[in-house]
Structure 1
């Protein structure tokens, strides 16, 4: 079984925000697999689906971003899913808007949600997909920016990145990490 975790914040006020890129990608994966996240438990919303002959557990932690590891640790322990089969998807300020990066491991790069997951699972060898949201322009404080929503042409670029993030996650399940890295990594949005 694989566990695909989208990081974000629960609650209506956070829906469709930049910081909820992980939640939004998981919603797209559920739709692509013909399912939904209809269960609650382990401090998460989750659903059990299948893709490419593999059982999938799609997870949206409900702990708020900075405590995501608590939910991920609980659900992966219960289902006995190891770190190499746990894929984490999240927003990244340091990637240009619309860019995508898959990695098989490494540091959290300052992302507090991923930091929490790595601390609880006691390893940096966690596959992850970073969705680029870019940095705020001008004097906008970072917390206001990440908890804000895109509009206009930026929304279209973000939507395309979410779709590619979902495709990359499903590629990881079907084709493995090397193929996914070679076919989906981009430092610029796709045209």
Structure 2
């Protein structure tokens, strides 16, 4: 089984935060296919679905961002999954709002949630999609910025990114990491050609 793991903070006060982009995407995904999150025996909520007859799991940790790895480790242990079956979705202040980046492995890029997962799994060999939230903050203002809410304009700009992320996540579920990477390259080429024709 493949698992889509969103990074975010639990609790209604964090729902629309930039740092909860991973959770917001999972809510978008779940709503699209009509599944609901339920509590698990571990430190996470999960929702099970299927794509082209292949079962998958959406996971929201109930730990805070900085402890995301605890839930990731529990998910892999509970379902006996290899790390490459875990696709992590998170926010990224190094990317502009309305953009995303796909990687099959790598460092944490300064994201504490990714750092926690890498530490708890003793591996950075898991795919991740980082969704840009912009960097509209002053020096030393990062923490306040990621814990601030998206406005309505931001959320509208996120929708096409979520649509693209959904396509990539479904490709990951059906075909694995390399298929997802190939699809991302194709979608990027289409976007570039469309922009060139404007």
Q: How far off is 1:110 after superposition?
A: 1.0
Q: Could you tell me which residue of structure 1 aligns to residue 186 of structure 2? A: 183
> Once the two structures are superposed, what CA deviation does each residue of 1:16-64 show, in whole Å capped at 9, x if it has no partner?
1111000011112222232111233311111121112221111000100
Q: How far off is 1:163 after superposition?
A: 2.9
Indicate if the aligned counterparts of 1:61 and 1:71 stay in contact, CA closer than 8 A: yes
Q: Could you tell me which residue of structure 1 aligns to residue 87 of structure 2? A: 87
Q: How does 1:1-191 map to 2 (within 5 A)?
A: 1-138=1-138, 141-175=141-175, 176-184=179-187
Partners in 2 of 1:33 and 1:185 — Cα distance?
25
Partners in 2 of 1:70 and 1:138 — Cα distance?
31
Partners in 1 of 2:188 and 2:60 — Cα distance?
23
Bigger mean CA offset, 172-181 vs 40-49? 172-181
Normalising by structure 2, report the TM-score.
Answer: 0.87
Q: How far off is 1:139 after superposition?
A: 6.1
Indicate if the aligned counterparts of 2:19 and 2:91 stay in contact, CA closer than 8 A: yes
What do you get for the CA RMSD once the two structures are aligned?
Answer: 2.2
Partners in 1 of 2:136 and 2:25 — Cα distance?
22
Partners in 2 of 1:184 and 1:116 — Cα distance?
30
Q: How far off is 1:78 after superposition?
A: 1.1
Compare CA radii of gyration and give the structure with the larger one: 2
- Return the structure number with greater helix share: 2
- Structure 1 stretches of 4+ with a deviation exceeding 3 A read 137-140, 183-186
1:173–1:146 distance in 2 versus 1, CA, 3 Å? same
Work out the number of aligned pairs and report it: 190
Residue 29 of structure 1 aligns to a residue whose secondary structure is helix
Partners in 2 of 1:60 and 1:185 — Cα distance?
28
Residue 149 of structure 1 aligns to a residue whose secondary structure is coil
Normalising by structure 1, report the TM-score.
Answer: 0.90
Bigger mean CA offset, 33-42 vs 61-70? 33-42
